[in-house]
Amino acid sequence: MSRSSPDPIRVLHVDDDPEYAGLDAAVEAADESLAVEAVADAEAGLERLADGGFDCVVSEYDLAGRDGVAFLDAVRADHPDLPFVLFTGEGSEAVASEAVSAGVTEYVRKGVDADGPTELAARIEAAVESALAERERRRRLEAIDAAREGIAIIEEDGTFSYVNDEYADLYGYDPEEMVGESFEITYPDGALETVRADVMPAVEGTGFWRGETTGLRADGTTFVEDHTLTKTEGERLVCSVFDKTDRGGHEDAIEGIHTTVRGLMEATTFEGVAETLVRAVRDVVGLPNSAVHRYDEDAEALVPVAWTDEGEQLLGEVPSIPRDEGLAWEVFEAGERRVYDDVSTVPGRFAEDTPIRSELILPLGDHGVLLAGSSEPEAFDQVDVTLAGTLAVHATTALDGIRSERELRAEREALERQNERLERLAGIVSHDLRNPLTVAKGRLELIADDSDDEHVAAIDRAHERMETLIEDLLALAREGEGATDPEPVDLAAAARECWDHVETGEATLVVDAASTVRADPGRLQQLLENCVRNAVDHGGGDVTVTVGDCEGGFYVADDGPGIPEGERERVFEAGYSNADGGTGLGLNIVAGIAESHGWDVAVRESEGGGARFEFTDVETV
């Protein structure tokens, strides 16, 4: 989740080390969305936090008066959710363990984990984003709690990750007893077979199912349940249940809710969800004056998207609600519904002379709000609030799904454009660069026949480096193709074949592999060749390269000089190389090929003291 506010992230930096006196300005310059204020000790930090307005704390561990963990405890006492980054020169495992145990958001060592203001700024922003996402998650769960309908969230593996009190009560459990358990505990054997054979395939195919099932309580008794399942992002299921034997005379309303849920899930735009929602609030709940306002980041306002004719007749033009104005904005930011029996007496209302007396305001996550009003005071009873709250929860789920689909579509389109650019790059590299290079190499051969000039050898080496660079660039461009055609590949045979395609000089190949892996043969060949070339380039002409099996996959190791522990993550970065004439692309391509197969790759020290590249999560045959 990204921040919707245009205001900068306000950071309080607590550090008495003069060496870092200029860090704050550098962090702001690295990320214009940050505004950093510095103080020298913990007491001054607590005083500034008491004034409010900060989004994150960055603190040294070694502070005068109290250490960073004690400072964290003091901060947590009044600001339990405020992100806290311990940015310290104290790098012992004991300090790290103490910080993590105390609940620090991030533990960052100066000059090691965050070497420079850009990376520190990224860590700060990530901590704030994570805190916002967790806050939004809690808001949504609180909205489900308020719905008074039995609602649960079922993960892809079939276990409950959340149930509200009403859902647990239906089955005779406490909510915490159900979380982590399989949804199958709520069905007797016969009904469970029906769910597996009929219900789950329907949900998988259409994203929605509604009908009657037999529920099983903890005491062994059963009941007929009116049941709705909706698939949302991440393959989760939102499950809502009513006890058909205990509907309290609201049969028509509950039937209308289930019909509405399907309409919400079938909508493909915010406007479609909003229009379905206001119709349902009018026709199902019986509240004729309602509107849905969407949060518009550019306008910095809650902008009306859909409303009933009755609401427009009562209010005239349905207004936008600017940031920090009115009760609706308070509900949107707090994520908690509010019911007013007579809003005309409530301070902070948007319009002083409003004709609205009773008002119900429900949050729709970070998307906007639903408002329902009446010109009569005390117009809403508990049933109205419960039914409208249930609709709001399902509308929020539908809007989450639409946003996820939109983001996925944008990512696909961006990837397609990127692949088109890479294809053009590959054409330029393979034709416009390789052709003149071939001409230059041919002319150089003619000169070399008649000259022993040392400059000829230098030009020849430059040509060879250009040839290597072209091959790596072409490989990098092809990386967008992914591992499109995996098939069983004999790892030992692939290793021997790649050895024949690389200039290895006096180097030695040892094959200790007996596995057959599922891989794209061409991409695996390229991965092995790049690993071998890297070993020869860094280990010299007499290096020994070993390709073998390991737990979960395979490895490529050498007995060369190895890779220092502090550089092992960086070797996969594009452009990183410590070899003369290296392009810095070979291992970046290796990492990309591994990722396209779904493999993990790690760098370790080999038995001979050199580098060992391990590829795991590899499917073997």
Backbone angles phi, psi at 115, to 5 degrees: -90, 80
Calpha distance 57→82 (Å, rounded)? 7
pLDDT at 329 over 50: yes
Residue 105 has pLDDT above 80, yes or no: yes
pLDDT of residue 483 exceeding 50:
no
Mean pLDDT of 451-456: 75
Domain segments of the chain: what residues?
9-142, 287-378+394-481, 482-616
Q: Tell whether the model's pLDDT for residue 305 goes beyond 90.
A: yes
Q: Which of 26-35, 68-77, 178-187, 289-298 has the lowest mean pLDDT?
A: 26-35
Instruction: Give the whole-angstrom CA distance, residue 208 versus residue 260.
Output: 12
The pLDDT value recorded for residue 115 is 53
Q: What is the pLDDT of residue 480?
A: 47
The answer to which of 118-127, 178-187, 202-211, 214-223 has the lowest mean pLDDT is: 202-211
Six-digit token string for 258: 């289930």
CATH 3.30.450.340 fits 287-378+394-481, yes or no: yes
Residue 453 above 60 pLDDT?
yes
Q: What is the pLDDT of residues 539-591, one digit of tens each?
A: 877 899 999 999 999 999 999 998 888 788 788 876 555 555 455 567 888 88
d(CA 39, CA 59) in angstroms, rounded, equals 10
- Average pLDDT of the chain, as a whole number: 82
Homologous superfamily (CATH) of 9-142 is: Response regulator (3.40.50.2300)
Q: What is the mean pLDDT of the segment spanning 347-372?
A: 89
Say if residue 198's pLDDT is above 70.
Answer: yes
Report the pLDDT averaged over residues 497-513. Answer: 88
Residue 147's pLDDT is 47
Mean pLDDT of 597-610: 92
**pLDDT > 70 fraction of the chain, expressed in percent and rounded:** 84
Give the tokens for residue 345: 């007496």
Q: What pLDDT shows up at residue 249? A: 46
pLDDT band at 50 (very low <50, low <70, confident <90, very high): confident
Of 121-130, 173-182, 607-616, give the lowest mean pLDDT range.
121-130
pLDDT in tens, 252-278: 566 677 677 778 878 889 999 999 999
pLDDT higher than 90, residue 236: no
Confidence of residue 142 (pLDDT cuts 50, 70, 90): low
Residue 145 has pLDDT above 70, yes or no: no
What was the pLDDT predicted at 488?
A: 94
Identity of the residue numbered 173: Y
Percent of the chain with pLDDT over 90: 24
**SS3 call for 106:** strand
CATH of 482-616, picked from 3.20.20.150, 3.30.565.10, 3.40.50.300, 2.40.50.140, is 3.30.565.10
- Quote the pLDDT of residue 91: 59
Q: What is residue 518's predicted lDDT score, i.e. its pLDDT?
A: 93
pLDDT at 524 over 50: yes
Per the listing, tokens 């055609």 go with 485
Question: Could you give the strand order of the β-sheet that contains 208-216, starting from the edge strand earlier in sequence?
Answer: 160-163, 150-154, 237-243, 222-231, 208-216
CA distance 323 to 158: 41
Using CA atoms, how far residue 97 sits from 92, 103, 104, 107, in Å, is 9, 10, 10, 10
What mean pLDDT is predicted for residues 363-377? 91
Q: How many residues does the chain have?
A: 621
Q: Average pLDDT of 156-182?
A: 90
Averaged over 135-149, what is the pLDDT? 59
Give the number of C-alpha atoms closer than 13 A to the C-alpha of residue 210, restricted to the C-beta side: 14
Q: What angle do CA 173, 262, 195 make, to 5 degrees?
A: 50
pLDDT at 404 > cutoff 70: yes
Q: Show the CA angle centred on residue 409, arms to residues 404 and 413, nearest 5°.
A: 150
Question: Which of 369, 364, 389 lies closest to 307, judged by CA?
Answer: 369
Q: Which of 532, 542, 520 is nearest to 595 (CA)?
A: 520
159: DSSP letter:
B
**Cβ-contact 118, 34 below 8 angstroms:** no
